[in-house]
Structure 1
Amino acid sequence: MTLDRAVFVFAGFVVLTSVLLAHYVSPWWILLAVFAGLNMIQAAFTGFCPAAMVFKKLGVKPGAAFR
């Protein structure tokens, strides 16, 4: 798995977890999905992604987007 795919999987997991928590616990958990979405937008423009940095330190192979 490349770094790009790991970041996409993690972002999808965060969004789905947020939706489940919002449904079963509190609607305020939607803010987690909002944060994930905003982070993906800023990463697209700046190339800075904290999740990509963590995955890179864990030894995930680099992809095309996050070098």
Structure 2
Amino acid sequence: MHQALRLIAGVMILVSLALTYFVHPNWVFFSVFIALNLIQSAFTKWCPMITILKKAGLKE
């Protein structure tokens, strides 16, 4: 599960950076959102994506 979480976060960051470069600079805020979510999950030990992955049936 944690490998899937890291993969999803990494892909989302790369997509955000590509959108920032090729589409519009404001897409950088998507990267900021992802970073803030990762930071809050470090403190709260709760990540919304983990909840989604569990509901999707991914085993820990």
TM over 0.5: yes
- Match for residue 45 of structure 2 among 44, 47, 54: 47
- TM-score in terms of structure 1 length: 0.85
- Give 1 or 2: higher helix fraction: 2
Structure 1 residues without counterparts, runs of 5 or longer: 63-67
Give RMSD over aligned pairs: 0.7
Structure 2 residues without counterparts, runs of 5 or longer: none
How many residue pairs get matched? 60
Structure 1 runs, 4 residues or longer, greater than 6 Å off: none
Percent of residue pairs bearing the same amino acid type: 40
The structure showing larger relative contact order (alpha-carbon pairs under 8 Å, at least 6 residues apart) is 1
- TM-score in terms of structure 2 length: 0.94
